[in-house]
Amino acid sequence: ANVSDDSIARRRGGALFLVATPIGNLGDLSPRARDTLRDADVLLAEDTRHTAQLLHASGIERASGTLVSLHEHNERSSVAGHVARMLDGATIALVSDAGTPLVSDPGAALVRAAIDAGIEVVVVPGPCAAVAATTLSGLPADRFAFEGFLPAKHAARVEALRERAHEPRTLVFYEAPHRLRDALADLAVVFGPDRPAAVLREMTKRFESAYRGTLGELGERCASDPDMSRGEIVLVVGGATQPEEPDAAAVDALLRALLEELPASRAARVAARVTGRPRKELYDRALALGAKSES
């Protein structure tokens, strides 16, 4: 048995348990989550039919009438009643359809109200699509910004992306499958097509797949491969890097163009202003490109 100090069996007094459930693979339901879903006096679920299936598949039986819905439309109106029950000593467990409750899912108002009422809040952590996708993406995971869902409409999405174009942390978005292609197209325009990214879909499920590449490559792939935009999707995008120094070929091209009009010293001075590189280095490079020495 998995009995810990915060187990419901040993608890006296009400509490709110925040319980993460699988994002696909039922094997990811932790023993502690299972005990909590079985033993809490009330189980609040986003979609009770969905959670009833999880309970059934996991061999969990509950007294009838103790599985209650809490979704975005009834959360505010039902919070006071749930808090009153917990103050009366009831234990309540909260789940969402998949993953961690509150993360792009209902529950924040209930947690706030429980904290304000002095009720103990206990987390039973586990799967979360945002974290799973970040670790799978191959992009830096030491710092990342979870952005939830992007706006559905093009103009609002572009505006939201513009505000994040210089964010240095890895960015994590939930995306609806039918919007993936448009989102990738907008990302490539606003962030540039060379930004590294990854599309993680159907994680922990039968048709799980990961696509990694630049935003431009992923956009092209998405246009030609209908499988890429099927199922549940997380989009992970590398953070902005410091503006790069122009590469050697670009500097040479600039110098050659300037040398057609200017002597080497003036060409080097102008190129230094444009590229931020030392004038001496550019003068030497101008000579290497065939300009006449002026000293």
Residue numbers of the site for ligand SAM (CB under 6 A)? 23-24, 96, 98-100, 103-105, 128-130, 174-175, 200-205, 232-234
Q: Which C-beta is closer to ligand SAM: that of 137 or that of 264?
A: 137
Q: Which C-beta is closer to ligand SAM: that of 35 or that of 105?
A: 105
Burial of 73 (0-12, 13-18, 19+ CB in 10 A): exposed
Q: How far is CA 264 from the centre of its chain?
A: 51
Minimal distance, residue 63 CB to ligand SAM, in Å: 26
Q: Which C-beta is closer to ligand SAM: that of 133 or that of 185?
A: 133
Minimal distance, residue 200 CB to ligand SAM, in Å: 6
Report whether 160 contacts 150 (CB < 8 A): yes
Minimal distance, residue 22 CB to ligand SAM, in Å: 9
What residue has token string 């490559």?
Answer: 217
Minimal distance, residue 99 CB to ligand SAM, in Å: 2
Minimal distance, residue 152 CB to ligand SAM, in Å: 12
For Cα atoms 173, 126, 66, give the angle at the middle one, nearest 5 degrees: 105
Burial of 62 (0-12, 13-18, 19+ CB in 10 A): middle
> Which residue in the shown chain puts its C-beta closest to ligand SAM?
99
Tell me the C-alpha to C-alpha distance, in Å, between residue 213 and each of 67, 196, 220: 43, 6, 10
Minimal distance, residue 129 CB to ligand SAM, in Å: 3
C-alpha closest to that of 43 among 24, 7, 12, 17: 17
Q: How far is CA 174 from the centre of its chain?
A: 6
Q: Which C-beta is closer to ligand SAM: that of 128 or that of 282?
A: 128
Q: Which C-beta is closer to ligand SAM: that of 37 or that of 200?
A: 200
Q: Which C-beta is closer to ligand SAM: that of 167 or that of 202?
A: 202
